[in-house]
Structure 1
């Protein structure tokens, strides 16, 4: 503890600009500050300050030591804050932004379940496919699918892997046959996801080439995945959708997965939040719960 006390006095001297100013800030005498620094220099075996009758300035060794003391003290401060945060009840409003369909079907039910477990927690959930600015828009947490852009203002944690699968209704397969290979897809009707003049090409990782691109025949394109899924159930064609979206339909027999031996496309989902040395308990709770429960819904 005496060593830590010497470090805090040393940092105060540097930041206050001298022994007298540091003594005033620490409510000590100038002599006590000087003796503390002298003992620290003796223990370290180096001179930390150049001293004159009017001022003190750091030596090279002093500057080196000061920079590392700052890091050490910051870690101590963060540790104290984390311990204090762990004592607090999870309370207050948690504002979360999430993609519309993924959020509605997977994220929201998990977060809403926390309300029964934590009566002082409130949820403010926003369903939007745009990338929100966490700080400007005032969100505590956001869910993002796919690759993340570098952003020094946010932190991220992987919460799940999403896998895409090809499905069709039993009635469609009975009428048009079941594709056995990727080449067969070109002879089938697909319901294609697309926005404006662009559309999503179906791609599959292979051993010979990074991506194998296949495009079923289609006269039907739309920008709403839920409608695409509903049309597949009605027998309108093959679809290429996340496993979580078709899981209940497959379990009920309304959709059938095909080409299950083909390696699927897999992408990541992350929780992101504003960068801070201390994570709020309500944010930590939400992320830990998603990490625990969300992967079960992805198959």
Structure 2
């Protein structure tokens, strides 16, 4: 018995969202795909999906089986790539999770270039700031703006550095005054990043290996950094943002840095993926491209620099 029979067809139907699209991708007839999945269901003794001529929907068993199938096919890809990675172009599917703004502004352009270079690569990208479980949610790679905790099942590589800075609109500073030290921040309105009831503190190195927190008074709490930058441009208060995000606004004069001589927090951005004996060529190409390209977007040390 071929225990893999029907699995590729099943995953293709789920990924494509229907039988016709999957059949076209697999270069099979719709009937052949449907029969392969029917035989798979018969062998398993469960219903994997509900389907009509117009609709396709996974059952709860189908959802669980799909996650296992994706991992099985990924392991097969790893084994095959170990034998052929030096002989073939990167190919296959990569499922990624990236932060919303950093992902859109910095990671997405790299993905676009890789996709143009390798026509056999497919990308499934989720833009979210929520914590994700890389293993349970079957991601091939996640990009995260925090250090990787000790893990026996994950591997990480630093791909960028982000330098934080306080900024404000010239009109706001003209009306409210410019802070002369960290303590002055408490007298100002602040635009703060927050999500799910938690806000991000404005943190600075203390010169002794630790950090201290600026006394920011959060008048506006937003879960979108781009919106926070826009609010700062509108004169709504001080904001603590990554230098790469406000670089163009600083160069155009719509924002200015506040307390630029104070040592900023610089934090690392990591690519994280499951540990495996072999790395698929498609994953290695993407990670190498991110590590090569992102420092040019964020600055080698996250600094504000001219785009020229």
Q: Do Structure 1 and Structure 2 share a fold, with TM-score over 0.5?
A: yes
Matched residue, 1:164: 164
Q: How do 1:235-274 residues align onto structure 2 when only pairs under 5 Å count?
A: 235-274=235-274
Moved over 6 A (4+): none
Contact 1:112-1:123 at 8 Å conserved across structures: no
How much has 1:212 moved relative to structure 2? 2.6
Instruction: Look up the match of 1:222.
Output: 222
Contact 1:99 1:143 in 2 (8 A): yes
Q: Which residue does the alignment assign to 1:90?
A: 90
Q: CA deviation at 1:134?
A: 2.7
Whether the aligned pair in 2 keeps the contact of 1:193 and 1:221 (CA below 8 Å) is yes
Q: Are the aligned partners of 1:161 and 1:267 in contact in 2 as well (CA < 8 Å)? A: yes
Contact 1:190–1:217, Cα closer than 8 Å, also in 2: yes
1:133 aligns with 2:133: yes
Shift in alpha-carbon separation, 1:97–1:199, aligned structure 2, 3 A: closer
Which residue in the other structure is 2:207 paired with?
Answer: 207
- Report the Cα offset of residue 196 of structure 1: 5.1
Q: If each structure's helix is expressed as a fraction of its own residues, which one has the higher value?
A: 1
- What SS does structure 1 have at the residue aligned with 2:207? coil
In 2: Cα distance, 1:221 partner to 1:264 partner: 21
Aligned to 1:173: 173
CA contact (8 A) 1:161 1:295 kept: yes
Identify the residue that residue 233 of structure 1 maps to in structure 2: 233
Q: Which runs of 5+ in 1 are unaligned?
A: 1-77
The question of 1:191 aligning with 2:191 is answered: yes
Q: Name the CA distance, whole Å, in 1 between partners of 2:196 and 2:136.
A: 29
Instruction: Flag structure 2 segments of 5+ consecutive residues without an equivalent.
Output: 1-77, 304-308
132-141 or 145-154, which deviates more: 132-141
- Cα–Cα, structure 1 residues 92 and 208, in superposed 2: closer, same or farther, change >3 Å? closer
RMSD value, Cα: 2.3
TM-score (structure 2 length as normaliser): 0.66
Aligned length: 222
How far apart are residue 81 of structure 1 and its match? 6.6
Contact 1:155/1:273 (8 A) holds in 2: yes
Deviations 1:47-103 (A, max 9, x none): xxxxxxxxxxxxxxxxxxxxxxxxxxxxxxx9x975731221111222111111211
**CA–CA separation in structure 2 for the residues paired with 1:83 and 1:205:** 47
Q: Over alpha carbons, which structure has the higher Rg?
A: 1
Q: CA deviation at 1:252?
A: 2.1
User: Is the 2:110–2:290 Cα contact (8 Å) retained in structure 1?
Assistant: yes
Match in the other structure for 1:117: 117
Shift of 1:241: 1.0
Provide the rounded CA distance (Å) in 1 between the counterparts of 2:122 and 2:196: 38
Give me the whole-angstrom Cα distance separating, in 1, the residues matched to 2:142 and 2:297: 19
Deviations 1:219-271 (A, max 9, x none): 32233322211100111011001112212222222211121111111111111
